[in-house]
């Protein structure tokens, strides 16, 4: 007998998505299992909510839909924390206001949760599309089908399940400290492997729209081909990594009930993110003799050895050379 699917709340998370919210919301309404749907605009100041209400005019389908806005601009992490308090589903499925999910996305994600009671996050590959919806790259941005703390420690590229593809257990937000920071992907991935399992389906289940306002592209912005652009990108990345390390440490402090081995590996992951931030900051701000401590610590970490070796080569060049390309 087929296992019953857990209940789901679709979170259509919007910020200045007036031009794309109709497509995102229609893709939520097209899902093949009935869901609670919360359309929430983070005080973007445009017509996003008006457009959403126009789409819903006269709707009589199987989904229960709420359209609302935040009282002020929260930012993505605080917005997610607030929505977790409003949602009733066991699973929160993230629908960005500028993406479009395929009709069986929620059903396939929930099926994986039903098959794996320890699963805390299930994501998927995506199809990259441009601002007009034209396909750029099919079935991309995925991780292996199952990842754990040890894989993340060995990987060293500070990988995560793509936030836009995620479905998460609501308890990752309600039974852990509030998310603090700008970018949710890595924090939630680390929480998932701390509490249980993390999965990524091999199918592309949504069209992931690439444009100038993508949060990830803002953090990793490579538009400036000079040292100023290099420095701007490095400071954004190191700040994000420190936020991720701090979140994992808050989770460890709050969840002393979790198994000792998971807590130990979680502490190592927090240290890895903090060390990566320290290495980037040393290269930006410290005399070269003070690079050696963070670089040596990186050499000793299996997941950071390659990056540490690449950075050691920068000892041979002036800083102004780093951003060229």
* Structural domain spans, the chain: 8-214, 220-321
Distance from C-alpha of 172 to C-alpha of 189, rounded to nearest angstrom = 10
Shortest CA distance to 194 belongs to which of 276, 239, 250, 275? 250
Mean pLDDT within 95-123: 98
Number of C-alpha atoms within 13 angstroms, CB side, residue 276? Answer: 28
Query: In this prediction, what percent of the chain has a pLDDT beyond 90?
Result: 75
Note the pLDDT of residue 308: 83
3-state secondary structure of 104: coil
Distance from C-alpha of 167 to C-alpha of 199, rounded to nearest angstrom = 10
- The better pLDDT of the pair 202, 233 is held by 202
Note the pLDDT of residue 319: 62
- The better pLDDT of the pair 320, 155 is held by 155
Residue 296 pLDDT grade (very low, low, confident, very high; cuts 50, 70, 90): confident
Residue 240 pLDDT grade (very low, low, confident, very high; cuts 50, 70, 90): very high
Q: Over 50: is that where the pLDDT of 325 sits? A: no
Q: Cβ–Cβ contacts within 10 Å for residue 52, how many? A: 25
3-state secondary structure of 291: helix
State the CATH class of domain 8-214: alpha beta
- With a CB cutoff of 8 Å and minimum separation 6, the contacts of 110 are 5, 6, 8, 33, 91, 167
Q: Over 70: is that where the pLDDT of 321 sits? A: no
- With a CB cutoff of 8 Å and minimum separation 6, the contacts of 276 are 158, 238, 241, 298, 304, 307
Query: In this prediction, what percent of the chain has a pLDDT beyond 70?
Result: 93
Mean pLDDT within 127-156: 95
Note the pLDDT of residue 229: 85
Mean pLDDT within 4-11: 97
Mean pLDDT score across all residues of the chain: 92
**In this structure, are residues 272 and 155 in contact, taking their beta carbons and an 8 Å threshold?**
no
**In this structure, are residues 185 and 94 in contact, taking their beta carbons and an 8 Å threshold?**
no
pTM of the shown model = 0.92
Shortest CA distance to 94 belongs to which of 37, 43, 51, 139? 37
């Amino acid at each position: 007998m087929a296992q019953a699917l857990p209940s789901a709340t679709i979170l259509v998370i919007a910020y200045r998505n007036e031009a794309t919210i109709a497509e995102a919301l229609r893709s939520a309404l097209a899902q093949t299992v009935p869901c609670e749907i919360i359309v929430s605009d983070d005080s973007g100041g445009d017509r996003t909510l008006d457009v959403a209400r126009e789409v819903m005019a006269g709707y009589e389908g199987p989904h229960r839909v709420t359209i609302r806005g935040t009282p002020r601009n929260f930012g993505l992490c605080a917005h997610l924390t607030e929505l977790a308090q409003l949602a009733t589903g066991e699973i929160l499925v993230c629908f960005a206001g500028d993406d479009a999910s395929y009709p069986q996305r929620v059903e396939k994600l929930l099926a994986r949760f039903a098959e794996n009671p320890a699963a805390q996050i299930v994501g998927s590959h995506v199809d990259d599309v441009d601002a007009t919806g034209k396909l750029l790259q099919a079935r991309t941005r995925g991780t292996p089908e199952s990842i754990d703390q040890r894989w993340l420690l060995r990987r060293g590229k500070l990988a995560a399940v793509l936030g836009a593809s995620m479905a998460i257990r609501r308890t990752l937000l309600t039974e852990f400290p509030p998310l603090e920071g700008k970018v949710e992907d890595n924090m939630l991935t680390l929480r998932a492997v701390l509490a249980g399992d993390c999965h990524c389906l091999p199918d592309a289940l949504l069209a992931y729209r690439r444009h100038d306002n993508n949060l990830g592209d803002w953090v990793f912005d490579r538009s400036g081909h000079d040292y100023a652009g290099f420095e701007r990108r490095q400071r954004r990345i190191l700040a994000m990594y420190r936020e991720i390390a701090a979140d994992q440490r808050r989770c460890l402090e709050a969840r002393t009930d979790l198994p000792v081995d998971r807590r130990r590996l979680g502490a190592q992951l927090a240290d890895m993110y903090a060390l990566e931030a320290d290495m980037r900051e040393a290269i930006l701000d410290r005399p070269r003799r003070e690079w050696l401590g963070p670089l040596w610590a990186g050499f000793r970490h299996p997941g950071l050895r390659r990056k540490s070796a690449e950075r050691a080569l920068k000892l041979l060049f002036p800083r102004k050379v780093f951003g060229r390309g």
